[in-house]
Structure 1
Amino acid sequence: MLARANRITEGADYRRVSRGPRSGTRGLVVHGLLRDDATAPTRFGFIITKRVGVAVVRNRLRRRCKAICRELLAMLPTGLDLVIRLHPEAAELDYAELRRKVRRQALALAERLGATAIPEVCSCADEVA
Protein backbone atom coordinates (compact mmCIF):
# COMPACT_ATOMS: atom_id res chain seq x y z
CA MET A 1 0.00 0.00 0.00
CA LEU A 2 1.17 3.53 -0.69
CA ALA A 3 1.81 5.57 2.44
CA ARG A 4 -0.77 8.24 3.14
CA ALA A 5 1.87 10.91 2.46
CA ASN A 6 2.19 9.51 -1.09
CA ARG A 7 -1.53 9.57 -1.91
CA ILE A 8 -3.70 12.38 -3.21
CA THR A 9 -6.77 12.31 -1.00
CA GLU A 10 -8.56 15.63 -1.56
CA GLY A 11 -10.95 16.23 -4.44
CA ALA A 12 -9.55 19.72 -4.97
CA ASP A 13 -6.08 18.24 -5.46
CA TYR A 14 -7.43 15.74 -8.01
CA ARG A 15 -9.10 18.57 -9.95
CA ARG A 16 -5.99 20.75 -9.84
CA VAL A 17 -3.70 17.98 -11.10
CA SER A 18 -6.22 16.78 -13.71
CA ARG A 19 -6.21 20.24 -15.28
CA GLY A 20 -2.43 20.18 -15.63
CA PRO A 21 -0.19 18.74 -18.35
CA ARG A 22 -0.74 15.12 -19.34
CA SER A 23 0.93 12.27 -21.12
CA GLY A 24 -1.10 9.40 -22.46
CA THR A 25 -1.24 6.22 -24.42
CA ARG A 26 -3.91 3.67 -25.27
CA GLY A 27 -5.55 2.66 -22.00
CA LEU A 28 -4.27 5.37 -19.67
CA VAL A 29 -3.44 9.02 -19.21
CA VAL A 30 -1.08 10.43 -16.58
CA HIS A 31 -1.75 13.99 -15.41
CA GLY A 32 0.87 15.82 -13.36
CA LEU A 33 1.91 19.03 -11.66
CA LEU A 34 4.89 20.18 -9.66
CA ARG A 35 3.90 21.42 -6.23
CA ASP A 36 5.08 24.74 -4.83
CA ASP A 37 6.97 22.90 -2.10
CA ALA A 38 9.70 20.96 -3.91
CA THR A 39 10.54 19.03 -0.73
CA ALA A 40 6.99 17.66 -0.37
CA PRO A 41 6.66 13.92 -1.05
CA THR A 42 5.61 12.72 -4.48
CA ARG A 43 1.90 11.86 -4.46
CA PHE A 44 -0.23 9.62 -6.67
CA GLY A 45 -3.95 9.47 -7.34
CA PHE A 46 -6.01 7.08 -9.43
CA ILE A 47 -9.18 7.60 -11.45
CA ILE A 48 -10.86 4.39 -12.61
CA THR A 49 -14.45 4.84 -13.77
CA LYS A 50 -17.18 2.22 -13.91
CA ARG A 51 -16.75 2.07 -17.70
CA VAL A 52 -13.53 0.12 -17.03
CA GLY A 53 -15.46 -2.83 -15.64
CA VAL A 54 -16.99 -4.34 -12.55
CA ALA A 55 -15.59 -3.60 -9.09
CA VAL A 56 -13.30 -6.64 -9.11
CA VAL A 57 -11.61 -5.46 -12.32
CA ARG A 58 -11.34 -1.84 -11.15
CA ASN A 59 -9.87 -2.85 -7.79
CA ARG A 60 -7.35 -5.18 -9.44
CA LEU A 61 -6.19 -2.34 -11.69
CA ARG A 62 -5.97 0.03 -8.72
CA ARG A 63 -3.86 -2.46 -6.73
CA ARG A 64 -1.57 -3.00 -9.71
CA CYS A 65 -1.15 0.75 -10.18
CA LYS A 66 -0.34 1.22 -6.50
CA ALA A 67 2.37 -1.44 -6.74
CA ILE A 68 3.81 0.22 -9.85
CA CYS A 69 3.76 3.62 -8.14
CA ARG A 70 5.66 2.24 -5.13
CA GLU A 71 8.46 1.38 -7.57
CA LEU A 72 8.20 4.80 -9.23
CA LEU A 73 8.72 6.62 -5.92
CA ALA A 74 12.44 5.83 -6.11
CA MET A 75 12.65 7.17 -9.69
CA LEU A 76 10.72 10.42 -9.37
CA PRO A 77 11.78 13.64 -7.65
CA THR A 78 9.92 15.06 -4.68
CA GLY A 79 7.22 17.69 -5.05
CA LEU A 80 5.41 15.96 -7.91
CA ASP A 81 1.70 15.10 -8.00
CA LEU A 82 0.54 12.50 -10.54
CA VAL A 83 -2.99 11.30 -11.29
CA ILE A 84 -3.32 8.13 -13.35
CA ARG A 85 -6.60 7.90 -15.26
CA LEU A 86 -7.34 4.40 -16.54
CA HIS A 87 -9.56 3.78 -19.57
CA PRO A 88 -11.46 0.55 -20.41
CA GLU A 89 -8.57 -0.69 -22.60
CA ALA A 90 -6.39 -0.88 -19.47
CA ALA A 91 -8.46 -3.81 -18.19
CA GLU A 92 -7.07 -5.93 -21.04
CA LEU A 93 -3.41 -5.25 -20.18
CA ASP A 94 -1.33 -7.73 -18.22
CA TYR A 95 0.78 -6.45 -15.31
CA ALA A 96 4.03 -6.16 -17.28
CA GLU A 97 2.43 -4.12 -20.06
CA LEU A 98 0.56 -1.88 -17.60
CA ARG A 99 3.81 -1.34 -15.66
CA ARG A 100 5.70 -0.43 -18.82
CA LYS A 101 3.04 2.05 -19.95
CA VAL A 102 2.60 3.73 -16.55
CA ARG A 103 6.36 4.07 -16.04
CA ARG A 104 6.95 5.43 -19.52
CA GLN A 105 4.18 8.03 -19.28
CA ALA A 106 5.02 9.09 -15.70
CA LEU A 107 8.73 9.52 -16.42
CA ALA A 108 8.03 11.36 -19.69
CA LEU A 109 5.64 13.73 -17.92
CA ALA A 110 8.08 14.34 -15.06
CA GLU A 111 10.77 15.22 -17.58
CA ARG A 112 8.42 17.54 -19.47
CA LEU A 113 7.49 19.29 -16.21
CA GLY A 114 11.16 19.95 -15.60
CA ALA A 115 11.42 17.58 -12.67
CA THR A 116 14.90 16.12 -12.50
CA ALA A 117 15.15 12.37 -12.15
CA ILE A 118 17.41 10.71 -9.62
CA PRO A 119 20.77 10.07 -11.42
CA GLU A 120 21.21 6.36 -10.67
CA VAL A 121 17.75 5.65 -12.05
CA CYS A 122 18.41 7.45 -15.34
CA SER A 123 20.58 4.54 -16.46
CA CYS A 124 17.46 2.36 -16.83
CA ALA A 125 16.17 4.40 -19.77
CA ASP A 126 16.35 1.36 -22.04
CA GLU A 127 13.83 -0.43 -19.82
CA VAL A 128 11.42 2.51 -19.94
CA ALA A 129 11.77 3.15 -23.67
Structure 2
Amino acid sequence: MIGRIRSAATFERLAREGRVVRRGALEFRYLLDGGDGPPRVAFAVPRRAGSAVVRNRLRRRLRAVMRELGDPARGPTFPSGDYLIRPRRNAASISFGRLREDAAAVLARVCGGGSS
Protein backbone atom coordinates (compact mmCIF):
# COMPACT_ATOMS: atom_id res chain seq x y z
CA MET A 1 0.00 0.00 0.00
CA ILE A 2 1.24 3.46 -0.86
CA GLY A 3 0.09 6.64 0.83
CA ARG A 4 -0.17 10.15 -0.55
CA ILE A 5 1.64 13.31 0.46
CA ARG A 6 -0.82 16.13 0.97
CA SER A 7 0.64 18.66 3.39
CA ALA A 8 2.57 21.71 2.22
CA ALA A 9 4.98 21.23 5.13
CA THR A 10 6.01 17.82 3.78
CA PHE A 11 6.61 19.27 0.30
CA GLU A 12 8.72 22.05 1.80
CA ARG A 13 10.73 19.56 3.85
CA LEU A 14 11.34 17.43 0.75
CA ALA A 15 12.51 20.52 -1.16
CA ARG A 16 14.81 21.59 1.67
CA GLU A 17 16.22 18.30 2.96
CA GLY A 18 15.40 15.70 0.31
CA ARG A 19 18.00 13.77 -1.67
CA VAL A 20 17.68 13.65 -5.44
CA VAL A 21 18.17 10.68 -7.75
CA ARG A 22 17.63 10.86 -11.53
CA ARG A 23 17.33 8.17 -14.14
CA GLY A 24 16.03 8.46 -17.66
CA ALA A 25 12.81 10.45 -17.67
CA LEU A 26 12.33 10.50 -13.88
CA GLU A 27 13.63 12.52 -10.97
CA PHE A 28 12.92 11.31 -7.43
CA ARG A 29 13.33 13.56 -4.39
CA TYR A 30 13.08 11.51 -1.22
CA LEU A 31 13.43 11.42 2.54
CA LEU A 32 13.53 8.02 4.21
CA ASP A 33 12.02 7.80 7.67
CA GLY A 34 13.33 4.39 8.73
CA GLY A 35 9.88 3.33 9.92
CA ASP A 36 7.78 0.40 8.89
CA GLY A 37 4.81 2.43 7.62
CA PRO A 38 3.85 2.60 3.98
CA PRO A 39 5.82 4.91 1.69
CA ARG A 40 4.09 8.18 0.77
CA VAL A 41 4.29 9.44 -2.80
CA ALA A 42 3.44 12.67 -4.63
CA PHE A 43 3.76 13.52 -8.31
CA ALA A 44 4.76 16.94 -9.64
CA VAL A 45 3.98 16.96 -13.35
CA PRO A 46 4.91 20.35 -14.84
CA ARG A 47 2.79 22.10 -17.47
CA ARG A 48 5.58 21.81 -20.00
CA ALA A 49 4.87 18.05 -20.05
CA GLY A 50 1.84 18.78 -22.22
CA SER A 51 -1.87 19.44 -22.09
CA ALA A 52 -3.99 18.54 -19.06
CA VAL A 53 -4.93 15.27 -20.76
CA VAL A 54 -1.26 14.34 -21.25
CA ARG A 55 -0.30 15.37 -17.70
CA ASN A 56 -3.15 13.38 -16.15
CA ARG A 57 -2.34 10.31 -18.25
CA LEU A 58 1.31 10.55 -17.19
CA ARG A 59 0.28 10.91 -13.53
CA ARG A 60 -1.95 7.81 -13.81
CA ARG A 61 0.85 5.82 -15.44
CA LEU A 62 3.34 6.84 -12.75
CA ARG A 63 0.85 5.95 -10.03
CA ALA A 64 0.41 2.49 -11.62
CA VAL A 65 4.20 2.02 -11.80
CA MET A 66 4.63 2.90 -8.13
CA ARG A 67 1.71 0.67 -7.11
CA GLU A 68 3.34 -2.21 -9.02
CA LEU A 69 6.76 -1.60 -7.48
CA GLY A 70 5.25 -1.25 -4.01
CA ASP A 71 3.29 -4.51 -4.16
CA PRO A 72 4.84 -7.05 -1.75
CA ALA A 73 3.35 -9.93 -3.77
CA ARG A 74 5.53 -8.96 -6.76
CA GLY A 75 8.82 -8.83 -4.89
CA PRO A 76 10.72 -6.54 -2.56
CA THR A 77 9.13 -3.16 -1.96
CA PHE A 78 10.82 0.19 -1.50
CA PRO A 79 11.67 1.73 1.88
CA SER A 80 9.27 3.75 4.00
CA GLY A 81 9.55 7.51 3.55
CA ASP A 82 8.35 10.41 1.43
CA TYR A 83 8.91 10.50 -2.34
CA LEU A 84 8.28 13.36 -4.76
CA ILE A 85 8.41 12.15 -8.35
CA ARG A 86 8.99 14.66 -11.15
CA PRO A 87 8.85 13.38 -14.70
CA ARG A 88 11.12 15.11 -17.19
CA ARG A 89 10.02 16.66 -20.45
CA ASN A 90 10.09 13.44 -22.53
CA ALA A 91 8.34 11.19 -19.98
CA ALA A 92 4.93 11.38 -21.66
CA SER A 93 6.29 9.72 -24.82
CA ILE A 94 8.03 6.84 -23.04
CA SER A 95 6.49 3.38 -22.79
CA PHE A 96 5.08 2.05 -19.53
CA GLY A 97 7.80 -0.61 -19.42
CA ARG A 98 10.54 1.99 -19.72
CA LEU A 99 8.96 4.15 -16.98
CA ARG A 100 8.83 1.06 -14.77
CA GLU A 101 12.51 0.25 -15.49
CA ASP A 102 13.59 3.81 -14.69
CA ALA A 103 11.56 3.89 -11.47
CA ALA A 104 12.89 0.48 -10.39
CA ALA A 105 16.47 1.62 -11.05
CA VAL A 106 15.95 4.80 -9.03
CA LEU A 107 14.43 2.87 -6.14
CA ALA A 108 17.34 0.40 -6.24
CA ARG A 109 19.70 3.36 -5.84
CA VAL A 110 17.57 4.71 -2.99
CA CYS A 111 17.75 1.34 -1.23
CA GLY A 112 21.51 1.26 -1.81
CA GLY A 113 21.95 4.80 -0.49
CA GLY A 114 23.18 6.27 -3.78
CA SER A 115 22.54 9.84 -4.92
CA SER A 116 22.29 11.67 -8.26
Could you tell me which amino acid in structure 2 is paired with residue 89 of structure 1? N
In 1: Cα distance, 2:78 partner to 2:88 partner: 24
The two structures have a TM-score, normalised by structure 1, of 0.74
Could you tell me which amino acid in structure 2 is paired with residue 39 of structure 1? D
* 1:62-114 deviation digits (Å, cap 9, x = unpaired): 0011111112223113x32111111211112111111111111122123217x
2:84 aligned partner: 83
Could you tell me which amino acid in structure 1 is paired with residue 78 of structure 2? L
Alignment of structure 1 residues 61-100 onto 2, 5 Å = 61-73=58-70, 74=72, 75-77=77-79, 79-100=80-101
The alpha carbon displacement at 1:15 in A equals: 2.3
How many residues of Structure 1 are paired with residues of Structure 2 in the alignment? 108
Structure 1 residues 6 and 70: CA distance shift in structure 2, 3 A = same
In 2: Cα distance, 1:101 partner to 1:31 partner: 14
Moved over 6 A (4+): none
The two structures have a TM-score, normalised by structure 2, of 0.82
Q: Select the residue among 21, 27, 30 that pairs with 1:29.
A: 27
RMSD of aligned alpha carbons = 1.8
Of all paired residues, the percent bearing the same amino acid is 33
1:41 aligned partner: 38
- Structure 2 unaligned spans of 5+: none
SS in structure 2 of the partner of residue 56 of structure 1? helix
